[in-house]
Amino acid sequence: MSRSSYQGRALWTAPGPHRRRGIRPGWIVLALLAVTGGLWLSRDRLAKTPPYRALFIVRQASVEGAEYLGEDEVRRAAGLDRPLDFLRADLGKARAKLAKSPRVASARIDRAPLRRIVITITERRPAAIVRGGRLFETDGRGVILPPLVSGVMPDVPIVSGVKVADARPGRAIADPRFARALRHLAALARPEVALANPVSQIDVSDPRRTIVTLAPDGIDVFLPAEPPSVRTLSALRVVLADLASRNLSASSIDLMDDEVVAVRPVPVAVSAADTSLSVTREPRRG
């Protein structure tokens, strides 16, 4: 019997190269969670370290939009008048606190590039000073504004004859006579009227008429209770220009009549008795 070599499949094979097991993704996630949790638990201590403070502490919040309020007043009103943690500062709470200030109409607080916290406000603009026992600064909606820290009063008309029931800052004046005064101020400020003399005072104590005092000469203008037409107020501009061209002033100008302007002029250089002058406007055509 002849020998033959085994031609079948080998019963044993040499082991291949050893494959190293990699780190499973789940372990990576657990490690990250552990590190994050450790940092969270020690965040207060971490925030006190010099590297953290150098990277994330904002020395002072920036203020934009302040006109009457000082920047320090705005920061105090928002509770951001100290060094701030850029990452941990509660800007939503600060904005809500700032929005409660009667002088602030709207507010926004944002994180900005270069490690900045920016406070942007829109102030309520003073429209009048109401004389009601004492002087109250108000905006165009009659909201009473608290006094400025500087004590400076804005250069706006003084309104007399208004009752102030609730004088707390942030409260609106409900007396309809104040709304009447605002309507007169709006009418006199129209571009078509174009008065060169600013309004210094307005008296609405009389239900039948409104007295407007013009600066700088203290001319009293007698108007109907409600604002007259643009035509009537334009006649006031013409009369004032005519007085100025003749080097005259007036103690009063009466616009109660729709067709006649009654002027009581006062010579600038003469302290004689007042004289009276009536100007009749042309009747309306058409």
- For domain 126-280, the CATH superfamily is Cell division protein FtsQ/DivIB (3.40.50.11690)
Confidence category of residue 286, pLDDT binned at 50, 70, 90: very low
Residue 80 has pLDDT above 70, yes or no: yes
Indicate if the pLDDT at residue 53 is higher than 80: no
pLDDT above 80 for 268: no
98 token code pair: 């700032």
CB 23 within 8 A of CB 30: no
- Tally the C-alpha atoms within 13 A of residue 131's C-alpha that lie toward its C-beta: 12
Tell me if the domain spanning 29-123 has CATH number 3.10.20.310.
yes
Please give the Cα distance from 126 to 159 (Å, whole number).
13
Q: List the structure tokens of 194.
A: 């174009």
pLDDT class for 154, splitting at 50, 70, 90?
A: confident
Every domain of the chain with CATH number 3.40.50.11690 lies at 126-280
Average pLDDT in the 194-217 region? 92
Domain with CATH 3.10.20.310 in the chain: 29-123
β strands within the chain, DSSP E = 57-58, 62-64, 84-85, 104-112, 116-123, 126-132, 134-139, 144-145, 158-160, 199-203, 209-214, 219-224, 248-254, 260-267, 277-280
**Under 8 Å between Cβ of 178 and 159:** yes
The pTM of this model reads 0.69
pLDDT, position 271: 40
Chain centre to alpha carbon of residue 103: 7
Task: Give me the helices (H) in the chain, please.
Answer: 25-41, 43-47, 50-56, 71-78, 91-99, 176-188, 230-245
Q: Give the tokens for residue 284.
A: 């309306």
Q: Is 261 a residue whose pLDDT tops 80?
A: yes
- Position 97 pLDDT exceeds 90: yes
